[in-house]
Amino acid sequence: MFIHLIFFISSIASQSNNKVRQACPIKIDNFDMASWKADSLGCQRKRLGLYMLLIDNKKKIINHSRADVECLLGIANSVSSTHRSEFYYLESGIQCTPLKKDKDGLVDAAQLVISYRDGKVVDVSAIIP
């Protein structure tokens, strides 16, 4: 009986270790999600090479929830005051220096913009200064 108990406990442990992480519902061919997320402030310029895939495939992103977008892109770098848009840095800029903002509070780096209405994506665009 002791051997059966050990077998039972070890089988439960292996099942929990083998659980597959649920995939993101947004699928974009050739999009390197790991590189995008690793370059969280755009300082390594990895995102700059990836954002056009998002723009070109925005129809695959529109109508998805914030949670779906967060699964794909990670947490946004900033959110508009109305919470209708989220911003992701694309390149190195003031956010990569110890002093994060210029005198006007503006960031001088390209950003991907995800716009929402009623909790769903309505547009994907970019701001390129």
Residue 37 inside a domain? The answer is yes
pTM (2 d.p.): 0.75
In a domain, 20, yes or no: no
Query: What's the number of domains the chain is made of?
Result: 1
What are 88-128's pLDDT values in tens digits?
999 988 888 876 555 555 557 899 999 999 999 999 999 98
Mean of the per-residue pLDDT values for the chain?
82
Q: Mapped to the 3 state alphabet, what secondary structure does 11-59 carry?
A: HHHHHHHCCCCCCCCCCCCCCCHHHHHHCCCCCCCCHHHCHHHHHHCHH
| Predicted confidence (pLDDT) at residue 8 exceeds the cutoff of 50 | no
Domain, as residue range, for 102: 30-127
